Structure 1
Amino acid sequence: MPYPVDRRGFLRVSGAAAATAALGLTSCTSDTSGPVTLCWWDYFTLDNFQPGMNRLIKDIEAGVPDVRIERRSFPFAELERQITLGAISGDLPDLAIVDNVSMNTLGGSRLLADLTARVEKWGQADEYYQGPWSGCQVGGKTLGIPNNSNCLALYCNTRMLKSAGVEPPTTWDELASAAQKLTSGDRYGLALSAIRTEEGVFQFLPFLWQAGGDLDTFRTYGATALTFLDELIAKGSLSEQCVGWTQQDVNTRFLNQRAAMQINGPWQIPTLKKADFDWTVVALPRDKEAATCLGGENWVAMASGKHVDKVWEVLEYTQRPSVLVPYLVSFGELPARKDLADRGSWASDPALRLFLSQLPLARPRQYGAHYAEASQAVADAEQAVLTGSASPSAAAGTAAGKIDKALGEQ
């Protein structure tokens, strides 16, 4: 999700949603005779997504017997809330494409159809990378099918690294050393997003995992990760302004050659291919272990729908290589299926190939219905440390209390 990051910012906006009527929505209906009309919701609103989406819908209507698609698109921050409101108003789609983080909230709401039996009969679960597939599992049930995947890696300005006599770093120590050597004038060695939203948490969690921890051990390992980032700022290798940067802002710094390295995703590749300098992309440097964060979307079906069997036919059809590969290529995304690793643009593009190689390490943010509160605690801790208002240990301790409470309320 290539995805502009204003859409791919992984924001979890809080507060009350606008009333359904205010958005001018009407219920999805289907004629009692003739083809079944399935109502489909997504948040792919930007113009560059429409050709690929329109082709996918035409493929489905041509390939799945007696199906017509009625599609609605919402702003990214509205889709999950409209699904939640729809449970009250009775206005729900038959199927939807949702951010994989939404599985935390929607998965425990009983709104999503249980696809477990259908998947077992289908017999293709083993074709998926573990991270994307596990992101569809909630409470021992399969509540979705991966739509696409992405993750994070480290981009490097080839000339800058060569001039500084630096190799692409593979460990935290090497990353810190390289970032310091590459910092000069108004150019920082490293750029990343630490903004106080899910976008910043998406970029922070790999450091937590690489340190050997997780949310349930944040007091210890969160402090380790926060200390590492704090030291980068203290040494001048990372700008303290990163607390306000989106991933798009980070990429702009890299494009303007005001950052020699950046942490970002594959959705930036189309823009970077237009850059007037050479760059490469490598796996995120590791500490105790290697890790990256899983992004992307999942297909889901609504449990209240009258046509779940027909929806399953559609979902199964979208996973056929002849349908899935052109769709993913048009979106600049990666497949969640291992058996497609040698097809599509990612099979020959070295940068996409690198991201694809990292999917087996990519972890979903699958922490239960109260993940949003835990995520906010992580974001607050990072902000506190990187702005100098709290020490890593103090911030981690405060966050750990909130995280433990959130994770314990499942």
Structure 2
Amino acid sequence: MTHTTDRRSILRTAGAGAAALGLSGVLASCDTGGTGKARKPRTVTLTLWDYFTPANFQPGLNALIAGIEAHVAGVRIRRRAIPFADLVNALTLAAISGDLPDLAIVDNVSMSSLGGNGLLADLTSRVKSWGQARAYYPGPWASCQIGGKTLGIPNNSNCLALYYNTSMLHDAGVTPPTNWDQLADSARRLTTRNRFGLAMSAIRTEEGVFQFLPFLWQSGGDLDTFATSGPTPLAFLKNLIDKGSLSRACVGWTQEDVNARFLSRRAAMQINGPWQIPVLRKAPFEWNVVALPRDKTSATCLGGENWVVLATSDHLDKAWQVLEYTQRPSVLVPYLESLGELPARKDLAHTGTWTSDPVLNLFLKQLAIARPRLYGPHYADISEAVAKAEQAVLTGSASPSAAASAAAVKIDKALG
């Protein structure tokens, strides 16, 4: 933001005037208002943008904000929640209009694009002085490193696993699947006139790609071989739809939509993350969770968000104080527990409910095989190509081979 007054000129003028008058107490009196009593720190309002729109996230975020305002001197927080798919675009447009927030909580895969555009403040020197970088798991911390600079602090970690309705599986004589063949067979046997065996998100956003990538990795493939390895997971998911085990409507489902189907018993199994646990605890039926079924190998996708400070903020020091406060174990543990998220800090692995809760502990253990989406500054183009290919196959407008080949052209270019 532009300042119309040169602060250094003001200080030089004030200093010269004080020296000329020989009034050594003039500048000091500015801090006390002439009363001899120290003034309270000037209160600044920091704007915060995030995409935590679900209702179950609000109590934890409200408690965190209340804690910030109570313990970070002179800070008030004005929060704006934006839908997941719109946050990065909103930040980009705000950069043009000059109305960026001070702080944001963003998907860790958005770091490259935001950092590459110069929107994020460089926190490298502050982090070095802070001295806590080694407390974080390598994957989440690596997502904050762009161009040799630290541009964020991990907010949380998560990954995907397979939830199942225990009574539905028991009644159908099905055990929780551990591989693709079992997953396909279980989903078929659990499908009835009123429910699907499996629910997952295949929406044309990063949510859908987040859920698709584990299938690609489990098959032994990766994005740099998508033309040849992409058809296998695409064909597997299309087969689930063709057999009626997975709804065609999944191409429009967010992960919240998927959980809603599971809660309403319209799906016997679902692929989802630990952030759904606070809502699922209130379900009127028993459920459990297992690792994602494997093919050639086991894999899940590392998810999570990072705290960032926008480079245009007029209050960088206060914003950094907020980040430091959020990372205190006494603050971070209850915050993560309320959201159903996992710690990005190694030193918290044995603290919190994830140590004693078998469901959360399953997710925590899966972090060991969770893969980050570190595919360079053009990942957004890669994600779009993968999402388009999955949509084309699941809607029947292209074969797995044709869709994968078309996507690979764009992916290879983005990988560069």
Number of matched residues? Answer: 380
Give CA-to-partner distance per residue, 1:189-235, whole Å, 9 cap, x none: 22212122222112111111222222222112211111211222233
Matches within 5 A, 1:208-227: 208-227=216-235
Residue 375 (1) aligns with residue 383 (2): yes
Matches within 5 A, 1:200-349: 200-349=208-357
- Please state how far the C-alpha of 1:51 moved relative to its aligned partner: 4.1
Give CA-to-partner distance per residue, 1:325-384, whole Å, 9 cap, x none: 122223332221122223333333322222222223223333334322221211111111
Alignment match of 1:53 (pick from 52, 55, 61):
61
Residue 124 (1) aligns with residue 132 (2): yes
Distance 1:360 1:351 in 2: 16
Residue 190 (1) aligns with residue 198 (2): yes
Alignment match of 2:402 (pick from 384, 394, 401):
394
Query: Normalization by structure 1: what TM-score?
Result: 0.83
SS of match in other structure, 1:262: strand
Question: Which is further off, 197-206 or 112-121?
Answer: 112-121
The residue type equivalent to 2:44 in the other structure is T
Distance 1:307 1:364 in 2: 31
Distance 2:272 2:74 in 1: 38
- Please state how far the C-alpha of 1:283 moved relative to its aligned partner: 0.9
SS of match in other structure, 1:149: coil
Distance 2:168 2:106 in 1: 39
Matched-pair contact (CA < 8 Å) for 1:155–1:261: yes
Distance 2:217 2:128 in 1: 31
Partner of 1:406: 414
Alignment match of 2:75 (pick from 47, 68, 84):
68
- Please state how far the C-alpha of 1:317 moved relative to its aligned partner: 2.3
Distance 2:203 2:75 in 1: 41
Task: For structure 2, list consecutive stretches of 5 or more residues without a partner in the other structure.
Answer: 8-30, 32-40
Task: For structure 1, list consecutive stretches of 5 or more residues without a partner in the other structure.
Answer: 1-25
- Please state how far the C-alpha of 1:390 moved relative to its aligned partner: 1.6
Question: Which is further off, 311-320 or 376-385?
Answer: 311-320
The residue type equivalent to 2:75 in the other structure is R
Question: Which is further off, 178-187 or 207-216?
Answer: 178-187
Partner of 1:95: 103
| Identity percentage of aligned residues | 69
The residue type equivalent to 1:245 in the other structure is W
Matched-pair contact (CA < 8 Å) for 2:75–2:318: no
SS of match in other structure, 1:368: coil
Matched-pair contact (CA < 8 Å) for 2:354–2:364: yes
Distance 2:53 2:192 in 1: 40
Matched-pair contact (CA < 8 Å) for 1:152–1:265: yes
Query: Normalization by structure 2: what TM-score?
Result: 0.82
Distance 1:92 1:260 in 2: 43
Give CA-to-partner distance per residue, 1:40-93, whole Å, 9 cap, x none: 3223456654543343234334434x4413423142355433432343343333
Distance 2:403 2:53 in 1: 38
Alignment match of 2:370 (pick from 351, 362, 368):
362
- Please state how far the C-alpha of 1:27 moved relative to its aligned partner: 10
Distance 1:116 1:228 in 2: 44
Distance 1:135 1:67 in 2: 30
SS of match in other structure, 2:304: strand
Partner of 1:39: 46
Question: Which is further off, 75-84 or 109-118?
Answer: 75-84
Distance 1:288 1:344 in 2: 34
Question: Which is further off, 273-282 or 345-354?
Answer: 345-354
The residue type equivalent to 2:205 in the other structure is T
Matched-pair contact (CA < 8 Å) for 1:187–1:259: yes
Partner of 1:7: none
Matched-pair contact (CA < 8 Å) for 2:69–2:77: no
In structure 2, relative to structure 1, the CA distance for the partners of 1:141 and 1:189 (3 Å cut) is: same
SS of match in other structure, 1:217: helix
Distance 2:252 2:92 in 1: 30
RMSD after superposition: 2.8
SS of match in other structure, 1:107: helix
Alignment match of 2:148 (pick from 127, 140, 149):
140
- Please state how far the C-alpha of 1:307 moved relative to its aligned partner: 4.1
SS of match in other structure, 2:155: strand
